[in-house]
Structure 1
């Protein structure tokens, strides 16, 4: 019998989903757009808040807090929607994910800053950086923090992380972005630096 995981409804979670055998299941621009659409579709039915996300070619990271429904229900719908789209577009048979999603509760202000920064730095933490500037990576929430004039998806809350910035940092998104750029973060889920192909931009 599979043990049911318990989630704290008042907490944010660092969620990671990987392609089966680390295969690149998000390698094209269309893949990335389909994954984002899966989150938008799910958000309309099971509302949630995301503080940070980054879609890479063989995995994705999100920092998410459910509003009413369970994290399991949210992630099940997102991954099912994307898997259906992927299988239909590529005539793929079989599972595309490595295993059920990984989720770790992030319960402190410092933890939220560290994990969100780690998520945002993913495109430049690969053995060969995917971009020279984080603001240029289009499959991440970082550009929305960098340029507050960009219309953000309805599930992104870009007003909260800046309030957690410690003294002497200013409590602004500009200051948060500099924090992300300046400090290399390491979290327990950081297995190793990966060799990844650059996704279609």
Structure 2
């Protein structure tokens, strides 16, 4: 069956989601995240595009991109190919890194633009990784709120300008908007078959060779983190679910599976 043509945005702005192949992790440590942002900055500069927002999660990522003189499809192909080549060299592997086709939706008005940027920035909050969006290291929220943008990547002026002409006032209002309780549902990563708590508990016990799951709470950090990374490889498991079953915090699990 032929693929459906990608929706063309009248504004040139797209919300993009990219997933790891077979839902596998695509960012294992800080170096991976940093290299992806460096490549993103280069491709953005070379294509005359603009990054309005981003969030790099473990096995997927969100981008808010305004097209330049290359189409979003060409932009994403260059970005994905460059990172995949580097990633495969680093981890001495071959094959695909990303799911075959990225998902995208057009952003046609200011109201939906704000909805999307909040949705992107609240991803790590909803995942239980951080309590405040601006505290997540690998998103553009801190560029908007605190002006922290080491890669000089994010164009914040347009979205902040929707809140106020004065930059400091705009940043304060933007932060308030980010912190509002929201049930925004934009372009979803897609449904995933989840493993049941009972089944996951059984799989964890196998990894622990029959020992009770609660023993993870008494383990030394290096050994515990190594086991948590093995657990996260179980298909259908999530950070929240692993935390719930093991009695550890979501933050602890996240730090273990994304160890620098």
Q: TM-score range by the shorter chain?
A: 0.7 to 0.9
Aligned partner of residue 21 in structure 1, secondary structure = helix
Post-superposition Cα deviations, 1:100-129, rounded to whole Å, max 9, x if no partner, equal: 111100101110000000000011111xx1
> Aligned partners of 2:15 and 2:259: how far apart in 1?
25
Tell me the CA shift for residue 19 of structure 1.
0.3
1:99 is aligned to 100
Q: TM-score, normalised by structure 1?
A: 0.86
Q: Which has the larger radius of gyration?
A: 2
- Report what 2:238 is aligned to: 195
The answer for the alignment partner of 1:138 in structure 2 is 137
Q: Report the alpha carbon displacement of residue 153 of structure 1 after superposing the two structures with TM.
A: 3.8
Find the counterpart in structure 1 of residue 32 from structure 2.
31
What's the TM-score once normalised by structure 2's chain length?
Answer: 0.68
Q: In the alignment, which residue of structure 1 is the partner of 2:21? A: 20
- Find the counterpart in structure 2 of residue 52 from structure 1: 53
Spell out, residue by residue over 1:150-182, the C-alpha distance to the aligned partner (whole angstroms, 9 max, x if none): 34644411111123349xxx9602211111111
Cα shift readout 1:47-75 (whole Å, capped 9, x = no counterpart): 21121110001010011111211111111
Partners of 1:188 and 1:119 in 2: CA distance: 9
Ranked by relative contact order (alpha carbons within 8 Å, sequence separation 6 or more), the top structure is 1
Distance in structure 1 (CA, Å) of the matches to 2:84 and 2:50: 22
Q: Which residue of 1 aligns with 2:175?
A: 177
The 1-side partners of 2:106 and 2:81 are apart by 23
1:192, CA displacement in angstroms?
6.4
Aligned equivalents of 1:63 and 1:78: distance in 2?
14
Q: Distance in 2 between matches of 1:140 and 1:60?
A: 10
- 2: distance between equivalents of 1:157 and 1:10? 16
The 1:200/1:139 distance shift into structure 2, 3 A limit, reads: farther
SS in 2 for 1:172: helix
Query: Closer, same or farther in 2 for the Cα pair 1:188/1:142, shift >3 Å?
Result: closer
SS of 1:73 mapped into structure 2: helix
Which whole-Å CA distance do the structure 2 matches of 1:185 and 1:117 have between them?
10
- Measured after TM superposition, the shift of residue 195 of structure 1 is 2.3
Counterpart in the other structure of 2:68: 67
Cα separation, partners in 2 of 1:9 and 1:79, compared to 1, 3 Å = farther
For 1:121-136, list aligned pairs within 5 A: 121-126=122-127, 129-136=128-135
**What is the rounded CA distance, in whole Å, between the counterparts of 2:68 and 2:79 in structure 1?**
16
1:27 is displaced (CA, Å) by 2.3
Higher strand share: 1
1:117, 1:185 within 8 Å by CA — same for their partners in 2?
no
Task: Check the 8 A contact 2:16/2:64 in 1, yes or no.
Answer: yes
* Structure with higher helix content: 2
1:140 positional shift: 0.4
